[in-house]
Homo-oligomer: A and B are copies of this chain.
Amino acid sequence: MTKAISSVAESDIEITEPCPIRDVLDRIGDQWSLLVLEALSARTCRFNELTREIGDISRQMLSRTLKRLEQDGFITRTVYAEVPPRVEYELTDLGRSFLVPMQALVRWADANHLAICRARKTFAPR
């Protein structure tokens, strides 16, 4: 991820990664980030709620995914000093604003999945 398709000036001191698209897609393009964001779009969730909601994610991967999303400012993590411990994950404004283009993509995928499956089946190698 080094090439830039961006209108942002590359001399901007705040930006270390030169290409926003590659940078953003490296994050949300992984196996789980979109699923987590989708789950959190409805409501604030606790760790194990997310595990159940998503269904087939390991705690390991959920943990890593949440940490990255938190680092990138998509979600917040709130720890309550209780016993047993309670931790809640919630979308930030940035996270919520991301839902707009993300859900457009989801709708496209939903609408065109059948066409893609058909294309795969009718594709003649060579």
Contact = CB atoms under 8 A, between A and B. Distances in A.
Given A15-B117, A116-B23, A6 B110 contact: yes
* Count class of interface residues, chain A: 35 or more
A97 B24 CA distance: 21
A100 B105 CA distance: 9
The A interface, classified by DSSP as helix, strand, loop or mixed, is helix
Counting every copy of the chain, the complex holds: 2
A112 interface: yes
A104 B106 contact: no
Contact of A110 (B17, B21, B117): B21
Interface string A1-38: 11101111000101111001111110011110011001
CB-based closest 5 A-B pairs? A73-B119, A29-B29, A20-B113, A24-B109, A101-B104
